[in-house]
Amino acid sequence: MESRIDRIKKQLHSQKYKLTPQREATVRVLLENEKDHLSAEDVYLLVKEKAPEIGLATVYRTLELLTELKVVDKINFGDGVSRYDLRREGAEHFHHHLVCIECGAVDEIQEDLLGDVEQVVERDWHFIIKDHRLTFHGICYRCQNKKEETKD
Ligand SMILES: [Zn+2]
Ligand SMILES: [Zn+2]
């Protein structure tokens, strides 16, 4: 955790930004909830527990800055809410998401499944791809198991 904060601090420094206490509190919340996909409000409520003096506007600005610096990715799963997702260290692409339409669970696929697709797009559309977003909407294995159980 500390070493990751250190590296994020360096990343900010290299772009001439400081890791102020407010920014650090925000980064810590993101690290502690790495598996989640928190909205700005969610992040704000958690940061407030550590730094009660912080305002929602500051948290928003910090999240925007972290997005710009590619520390986090901003994502929308179609419910109109922007969520912030910590980028894995050394990840070349943004991980894929599986969103369950029944329970709302969000699972992550770290493996890049789009290599072939990117080649086609670059070749046929002369488009230089920098990143991509891939979200599948469907029914997760947990909900499928629940249905199986209620059958018998
Ligand atoms: Zn994610
Ligand atoms: Zn589900």
The domain limits of the chain are 1-90, 91-152
Q: 141 CA to middle of ligand 2, Å?
A: 7
Assigned CATH topology for domain 91-152: Dna Ligase; domain 1 (3.30.1490)
What band does 88 get if pLDDT is binned at 50, 70 and 90? Answer: confident
Q: In the chain, pLDDT over 70 holds for what percent of residues?
A: 99
Closest CA to 105 of 151, 52, 70, 145: 145
User: Does the structure show a pLDDT above 80 at 151?
Assistant: no
Q: How far is the CA of 85 from the centre of ligand 1 (A)?
A: 5
| Two structure tokens written together for 151 | 């059958």
Return all residues near 2 (Cβ < 8 A) that are at least 6 apart.
none
Ligand nearest to the CA of 104: 2
**Distance of CA 127 from the midpoint of ligand 1 (Å):** 25
Global pTM value? 0.82
Q: How far is the CA of 120 from the centre of ligand 1 (A)?
A: 25
Architecture of domain 1-90: Orthogonal Bundle (1.10)
Closest ligand, as measured to the CA of 108:
1
